């Protein structure tokens, strides 16, 4: 009981902080009609009445037009018998060159350096984050995230970024740690426009820190020293455009708070693209990538792609291409691509076929649209399935979205498995929207949604 009372009090105090910050600019609030929005949705699993979830969200723009202050306050509360009550909120304000951002149980800001060391989704539930930014001849950004998951252990993240007048390079530092590891990243990057047709960019990163190593009986801390660097050239001359990138990354260079990494780890890479326009509305594109390992952890890889496209106005457009890819000692994979689009852009169809040692992978796609509806069909032989999506928007008040997909089950369960998503939305003039839906949105992907339980949801959205 004491723990629940403490959590509720902490939530109340946090809500009061956001409310106080909003109240500081509320007296001078000037909102157009419909600027603020409140919505509530109730989701339930059929046959399990105790599984319902209620989610409230509120978005309110705030600011003072006389002093050029504008921002937004967002609040979210989720509750239900099967889960503990959770709330989240964001506050963003911008006044001239200064900006502040605060969040609780919501995504923070991703880093903007070229190595993508900090992603907004790397957070733990109930965690706080905050950022302060100043933009001018001299710019600075500071961000703090209370807790992220660092190999199963929580720890904070602190990031700082500064840049002087152009063309001064930009300096970024990202640090995080727990009781068993500490990582510090130092990034220096910059760009230079030599002329209208020549642009240079570059970046270098150093990773330092400590990590737990050794057996569980005799743990120790081992030093971490990793590096990464790249240089890029963008050039254009007449009908030719070229982009060349060279990079080198050590085996262990890795940020635990990143989402992905733009350069291949543990390898030296050369990547290039050449584009040539032999005629108006004609484009020849050639892409190549060569990777060689700097250690024993990663393997070499090569890739070449050639594509030719024709897109004249008010006529049929088409493209065709082929790609060759080889990684390590595996069999090379060859992909053939082709696509067409009608003059009125109502039909868009494409086909990709990849031949490798595992067979041929087919990926057809067809999209059709009219003023009142849109239809999309995709299939993938790797998943042994297909997906169809239909959206109707022809009525001024009603909107319908329907998704149906099937995939062949594994050898242990022969046959096909289906999945359906339906959303019916009704716009109410002067009020907002009302909707009902079956299942959650699958993000337009064939490999998402199969393991989720069946749900039914209803909600309303009010604009005021």
CB 60 within 8 A of CB 51: no
Residue range 149-164: average pLDDT? 94
Q: For residue range 127-140, what is the model confidence (pLDDT) as tens digits?
A: 999 999 999 999 99
Q: How far apart are CA 121 and CA 107, in angstroms?
A: 6
HEC profile for the chain? Answer: CHHHHHHHHHHHHHHHHHHHHHHHHHHHCCCCCCCCEEEEEEEEECCEEEEEEEEEEEEEEEEEHHHCEEEEEEEEEEEECCEEEEEEEEEEEEECCEEEEEEECCCCCCCCCCCCCCCCCCCCCCCEEEEEEECCCCEEEEEEEEEEEECCEEEEEEEEEEECCCCCCEEEEEEEECCCEEEEEEEEEEEEEEECCEEEEEEEEEEEEEEEECCCCCCEEEEEEEEEEEEEEEEEECCEEEEEEEEEECCCCCCCCCCCCCCCCCEEEEEEEEEECCCCCEEEEEEEEEEEECCCCCCCEEEEEEEEEECCCCCCEEEEEEEEEEECCCCCEEEEEEEEECCCCCEEEEEEEEEECCEEEEEEEEEEECCCEEEEEEEECCCCEEEEEEEECCCCCEEEEEEEEEEECCCCCCCEEEEEEEEEEEEECCCEEEEEEECCCCCCCCCCCCCCCCCEEEEEEEEC
Q: Which two tokens stand for residue 58?
A: 């509120």
Instruction: Say how many residues make up the chain.
Output: 464
Q: For residue range 318-353, what is the model confidence (pLDDT) as tens digits?
A: 999 999 999 887 889 999 999 999 998 899 999 999
Q: How far apart are CA 320 and CA 335, in angstroms?
A: 11
pLDDT for residue 11 is more than 80:
no
Q: How far apart are CA 295 and CA 267, in angstroms?
A: 8
Q: How far apart are CA 420 and CA 423, in angstroms?
A: 10
pLDDT value at residue 27: 43
Q: How far apart are CA 442 and CA 427, in angstroms?
A: 23
Q: In whole angstroms, how large is the CA radius of gyration of the chain?
A: 26
Q: For residue range 92-143, what is the model confidence (pLDDT) as tens digits?
A: 999 999 999 999 999 999 999 999 999 999 989 899 999 999 999 999 999 9
Q: How far apart are CA 48 and CA 78, in angstroms?
A: 18
**Of 8-12, 115-119, 258-262, where does mean pLDDT reach its minimum?**
8-12
Q: For residue range 268-290, what is the model confidence (pLDDT) as tens digits?
A: 999 999 999 999 999 999 999 99
Q: Return all residues near 148 (Cβ < 8 A) that are at least 6 apart.
A: 122, 123, 124, 127, 154, 155, 156, 157, 176, 256, 257
pLDDT for residue 381 is more than 90:
yes
pLDDT value at residue 337: 97
pLDDT value at residue 12: 44
Backbone angles phi, psi at 213, to 5 degrees: -140, 170
pLDDT for residue 21 is more than 50:
no
User: Which of 33, 89, 17, 96 has its CA nearest to residue 64?
Assistant: 96
Distances (CA, A) of 390 to 65, 375, 419: 42, 5, 14
State pTM to two decimals: 0.83
Burial class (CB in 10 A: 0-12, 13-18, 19+), 170: buried
Percent of the chain topping pLDDT 70? 91
Q: For residue range 65-74, what is the model confidence (pLDDT) as tens digits?
A: 777 889 999 9
Percent of the chain topping pLDDT 90? 75
Quote the distance between the C-alpha of residue 37 and its chain's center.
Answer: 24
CB 106 within 8 A of CB 130: no
As a dihedral over the C-alpha atoms of residue 247, residue 248, residue 249, residue 255, rounded to 10 degrees, the angle is -30
Average pLDDT, the chain: 89
């Amino acid at each position: 009981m004491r723990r629940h009372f403490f959590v509720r009090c902490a939530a109340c105090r946090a809500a009061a902080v956001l409310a106080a910050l909003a109240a500081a600019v509320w007296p001078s609030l000037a909102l157009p009609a419909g600027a603020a929005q409140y919505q509530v949705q109730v989701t339930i699993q059929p046959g399990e009445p105790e599984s319902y979830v209620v989610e409230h969200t509120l978005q309110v723009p705030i600011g003072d037009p006389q002093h050029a202050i504008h921002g937004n306050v967002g609040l979210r509360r989720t509750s239900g018998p099967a889960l503990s009550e959770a709330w989240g909120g964001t506050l963003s304000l911008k006044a001239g060159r200064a900006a502040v951002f605060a969040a609780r149980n919501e995504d923070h800001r991703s880093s903007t350096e070229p190595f993508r060391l900090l992603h907004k989704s790397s957070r733990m539930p109930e965690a706080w984050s905050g950022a302060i930014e100043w933009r001018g001849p001299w710019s600075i950004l500071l961000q703090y995230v209370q807790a992220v998951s660092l190999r199963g252990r929580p720890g904070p993240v602190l990031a700082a970024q500064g840049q002087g007048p152009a063309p001064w390079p930009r300096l970024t530092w990202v640090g995080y740690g727990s009781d068993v590891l500490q990582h510090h990243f130092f990034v220096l990057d910059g760009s230079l426009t030599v002329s209208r047709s020549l642009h240079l960019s570059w970046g270098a990163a150093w990773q330092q820190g400590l990590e737990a190593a050794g057996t569980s009986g005799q743990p120790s801390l081992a030093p971490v020293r990793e590096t990464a660097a790249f240089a890029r050239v963008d050039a254009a001359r007449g009908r030719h455009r070229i982009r060349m990138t060279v990079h080198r990354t050590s085996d262990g260079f890795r940020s635990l708070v990143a989402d992905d990494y733009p350069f291949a780890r543990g390898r030296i890479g050369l990547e290039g693209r050449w584009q040539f326009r032999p005629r108006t509305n004609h484009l020849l594109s050639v892409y190549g990538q060569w990777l060689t390992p700097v250690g024993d952890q990663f393997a070499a890889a090569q890739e070449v792609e050639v594509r030719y496209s024709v897109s004249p106005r008010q006529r049929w457009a088409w493209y065709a291409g082929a790609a060759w890819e080889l990684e390590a000692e595996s069999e090379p994979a060859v992909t053939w691509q082709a696509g067409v689009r009608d003059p009125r852009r109502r039909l868009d169809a494409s086909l990709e076929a990849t031949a490798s040692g595992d067979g041929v992978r087919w990926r057809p796609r067809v999209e059709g649209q009219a003023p009142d509806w849109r239809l999309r069909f995709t299939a993938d032989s790797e998943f042994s399935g297909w997906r169809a999506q239909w959206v109707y928007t022809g009525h001024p008040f009603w909107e319908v979205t329907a998704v149906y997909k099937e995939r062949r089950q594994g050898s242990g369960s022969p046959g096909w498995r289906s999945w359906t998503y339906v959303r019916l939305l009704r716009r109410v003039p002067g009020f907002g929207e009302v909707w009902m839906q079956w299942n959650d949105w699958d993000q337009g992907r064939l490999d998402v949604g199969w393991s989720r339980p069946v749900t039914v949801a209803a909600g309303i959205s009010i604009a005021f």
